Amino acid sequence: MSSSANLIALETIVRRELVRIMRLWVQTLIPPAITMTLYFAIFGRLIGDRIGTFDDGFTYMQYIVPGLVMMSIITSSYGNTSSSFFFIRFNRAVEEMLVSPMPNWAIVLGYVIGSVMRSVAVGTIVLLISLLFTSLHIAHPLIAFVSALLGATIFSLIGFINALYAKTLDDIGYVSTYVLTPLAYLGGVFYPVSMLDQPWQGVSQINPILHMIDAFRCGVLGVGDLNIGIAFVVMLALVAGLSIIALILLGRGVGTRS
């Protein structure tokens, strides 16, 4: 296919994903907003008022906002790609793409772009809701945006890879329940990792979600517990590695030709 034809194929996948997201907006955009509103009300308002402020002068509510926003981005990006591509496989519609001259990179990139756009929209909604509970001034908008973009891309790719292997919807839920959620809660959403004693503080740094949340928090609040450079290296490495894995699996026909 020519470059223009590849772009048309890519645009078609992205448009189809966006139409699906907007048509099912009650399922794709509203539930994360409701969940995070409850977190803000319970953890931020009720518990946060008793915790007080941190040494940097931020209230507990202000501290958890970046973590909850990034958590909503991560869960939305994973859920969108994993469920969308799984149903394409389940309905045998993936065969139409495989028999076409559409390159594999366009398929992967199309689903990732659609998922990233949904997760960024969800993150923006959650961030706006947080302003009902506290005041925020984004210290470094570029760092916040890039870290959110990389985090969404990483879990979009993870969702795509899982959708290739998944036999049932339960297989999608297992990763979310037993991997994604625990890592998110242990990734510094509700507490500074500097509060942990050794060796747990060092062990926590193995968690990639910690680097994503800390980079986003640094972009929003201007403070973080980890080295921002290392955090971006980790995220970029994951994007590159997961992209290669997704392309190899799709090229071998894993989950699509069997």
For residue 166, give every residue at least 6 positions away whose Cβ sits within 8 Å of its Cβ, in sequence order, or none. Answer: 82, 86, 172, 255
Tens of pLDDT, residue by residue over 66-94, are 989 999 999 999 989 998 888 888 877 77
| Per-residue confidence (pLDDT) for residue 55, from 0 to 100 | 59
Segment holding 62, helix H or strand E = helix 60-90
Tens of pLDDT, residue by residue over 205-237, are 788 899 999 999 999 988 877 888 999 999 999
| Per-residue confidence (pLDDT) for residue 116, from 0 to 100 | 94
pLDDT classification of 247: cutoffs 50, 70, 90: very high
pLDDT classification of 258: cutoffs 50, 70, 90: low
pTM: 0.90
Residues 212, 144 contacting (CB under 8 angstroms): no
User: Which CA distances in Å does 41 have to 61, 75, 129, 192, 229?
Assistant: 9, 20, 11, 20, 33
Tens of pLDDT, residue by residue over 111-157, are 999 999 999 999 999 999 988 888 888 889 999 999 999 999 999 99
- How many CB atoms are closer than 10 A to CB 102? 20
Residue ranges of the domains in the chain?
Answer: 3-252
Q: Phi-psi bin for 222: left (phi > 0), alpha (psi -120 to 50), beta? A: left
Instruction: Residue 69: name the closest of 44, 90, 104, 87 by CA.
Output: 44
